[in-house]
Structure 1
Amino acid sequence: MYIIVGATGRIGSLVVKAMQHQNLPVRAVVRDPSKLTLTSVEVGKADLMQTDEVVEAFKGGTTALLITPENPASQDIMGDTRRVVENYRQAIIATGIRRMVALSCIGAHLDDNTGNILMSRMLETALADLDVEKVYIRPSYYFSNWLAYLDTVQQYGILPTFFPEDLKIEKHAPADLAQFITEIMIAKEVQQVYELFGPRAYSSRDIAAAFSNLLQKSIAVQSIPPRQWVETLCSVGFTEDAAKHLADMTQAVVDQKAIPEFPERVIKLKTEFEDYIRPYVANAD
């Protein structure tokens, strides 16, 4: 049985769907089953902050996909992560999970002021001593992060960004990542660390050009200075704690600290940004 934590999320839902297509036994672990749009799938109801619920959801499983809880409403995002990871530990020990696949991120090997990247480091290091097969998947920046700006791009012809407009950053499509995770979940032999990029690095100017091409209108890049990052995030619903950690992660990316541990082994995913964003632009018309 494959246990998928975060099955209503952008990655977990795609992994569950891919496993369903292959008729594999899968349990979707979610806090609120009413938000699960997939049908004919076994559901494990669990609040990741509750040890007994996580243990119950993992029972009967052999392989588990683990994530970190990125909750913009959290008042203590690192404390919440620490508690969730400890619950994973208890569940794996109690239920005999044989392989854990941790969805981490590029830069998780670094012990530095890297904001949300430290959540992935916490996930990796806190589970390192468990006597199970461990796989850490470290992807780059998600294309889907740009979806938050789609309405602004379409209505005002402006692409806001926290990055310098010409800074090129490795990015990837979530569906590519989900497919890779699915393959690793079911593979007979795996390595411990996989680091993933998209087909090429993109600057914010490149992203704006892709939007411009699809919308057939000029899109201007609007770079938000670092001193305004926390204020901007709080204005859209982040707590100050969650905003500060996201801002620290953004600064780490800008400072090029978010780099692979094994650059010679980086795997390139295939989807280009324009191909990824095209259906979202079409559906918004």
Structure 2
Amino acid sequence: MNIVLTGSVGNVGKPLTQELVKKGHAVTVITRKIERRKDIESLGAKAAIGSMFDVDFLSATFKDADIVYLMETLEAVGDFFDQEADFIGSINEIGNNYRQAVRQSGVKRVVHLSSIGAHMQKGNGILRFHNNVENILKQLPDDVCIKFIRPVGFYTNMFGLIRTIKTKGAIISNYGGDKKEPWASPFDIAAAIAEEIDRPFAGRTIRYVASDEVSPNEIAKALGAAIGKPDLPWQVIPDEQLLNAWLNIGFNAQLAHGFMEMQASQGSGLLYEDYYRNKPTLGKVKLEAFAKQFAAAYHKE
């Protein structure tokens, strides 16, 4: 099949491209960075260089595709310390561009990488943009089949803990304790997407993806052991204290408020209510395996 992937060859895109090429699909990968062309072509795929904000480019690239895979990321919008950036608004624009491009190209099968929390219109913090884009894509005609993939938090998000561990000697958040929550490996997410691409499409479906279920204290123990800090603590501070810490270092205010609310929703369990109603079979990559990857990154910085 002819498959077009958005999102370049990042944490999910690279293993997904590799798997689809291995299965014999003709894969085109969209990237906004021309320097990514060689990386994409080395995987056996074709590179399409252009912007998610260019509807004509998207429409032309989607044309004749059997399936398009859509995703949007905060990183695609701008620098997290840009005070003027409107991350929610810009991603809504990308979602509307996707909708228009799918209609204009005539594509009838879509896989959309959404997220945990996309079932919520409020209380999910920065993840609200996933709810927005799902609703935008649902406005497509009924003959366009869409598979919404909702992974839980990526293990790779934990790389963001490295700076605080090195400067404060702790993981610091507005929630913690022994209550387990799900996490996902990009490799398991890519495997789930590849599975769904090869399965029949019908209507609008939702699939959650997770790899392991562990508590904050278990995360601190695993990461601490991996980096040679067996007593690494997970420290819980009030919402406002965390928010002010981010704002004081110049973090974009929309993101700071959004991440604070998202993490509070993780701690209350509100974020995971629909996940547990539709709990998936857990993937292969467990926290212990990721901890080795985390340690390599920690000691490299």
Instruction: Pick from 179, 186, 198 the counterpart of residue 211 of structure 2.
Output: 198
**Whole-Å Cα distance in 1 between the matches of residues 224 and 275 of structure 2?**
35
- Return the offset for 1:118: 1.3
Gaps of 5+ in 1: none
Q: Does the 8 Å CA contact 2:116/2:275 hold for their aligned counterparts?
A: no
Q: Which runs of 4+ in 1 moved over 6 A?
A: none
SS in 2 for 1:61: coil
1:266 is matched with: 279
- Return the offset for 1:236: 5.9
| Cα separation, partners in 2 of 1:212 and 1:105, compared to 1, 3 Å | same
1:17 is matched with: 18
Q: Does the 8 Å CA contact 1:45/1:57 hold for their aligned counterparts?
A: no
Instruction: Pick from 56, 59, 63 the counterpart of residue 55 of structure 1.
Output: 59
**Whole-Å Cα distance in 2 between the matches of residues 106 and 51 of structure 1?**
27
The alignment's TM-score, normalised by the length of structure 2, stands at 0.84
1:275 is matched with: 289
Instruction: Pick from 112, 121, 124 the counterpart of residue 114 of structure 1.
Output: 124
2:220 is matched with: 208
Task: Write the letter of the residue equivalent to 1:281.
Answer: A
Q: Does the 8 Å CA contact 1:159/1:221 hold for their aligned counterparts?
A: yes
Q: Does the 8 Å CA contact 1:140/1:196 hold for their aligned counterparts?
A: yes
40-49 or 208-217, larger mean C-alpha shift: 208-217
Trace 1:1-285 onto structure 2 (pairs within 5 A).
1-35=2-36, 37-38=39-40, 39=42, 40-71=44-75, 72=80, 73=82, 75-131=85-141, 132-150=144-162, 152-153=164-165, 157-189=169-201, 192-200=205-213, 202-218=214-230, 219-234=232-247, 238-261=251-274, 263-267=276-280, 268-282=282-296, 284=299
Q: CA RMSD in A?
A: 2.4
- Return the offset for 1:234: 4.2
Task: Write the letter of the residue equivalent to 2:289.
Answer: D
- Return the offset for 1:157: 4.5
| Cα separation, partners in 2 of 1:236 and 1:136, compared to 1, 3 Å | farther
Identity of aligned residues (%): 21
- Return the offset for 1:261: 2.9
Task: Write the letter of the residue equivalent to 1:143.
Answer: Y
| Cα separation, partners in 2 of 1:7 and 1:168, compared to 1, 3 Å | same
- Return the offset for 1:5: 0.8
**Whole-Å Cα distance in 1 between the matches of residues 275 and 263 of structure 2?**
21
Task: Write the letter of the residue equivalent to 1:142.
Answer: F
Gaps of 5+ in 2: none
**Whole-Å Cα distance in 1 between the matches of residues 167 and 243 of structure 2?**
24
SS in 2 for 1:150: helix
**Whole-Å Cα distance in 2 between the matches of residues 75 and 215 of structure 1?**
35
The alignment's TM-score, normalised by the length of structure 1, stands at 0.89
Task: Write the letter of the residue equivalent to 2:181.
Answer: I
- Return the offset for 1:143: 1.1
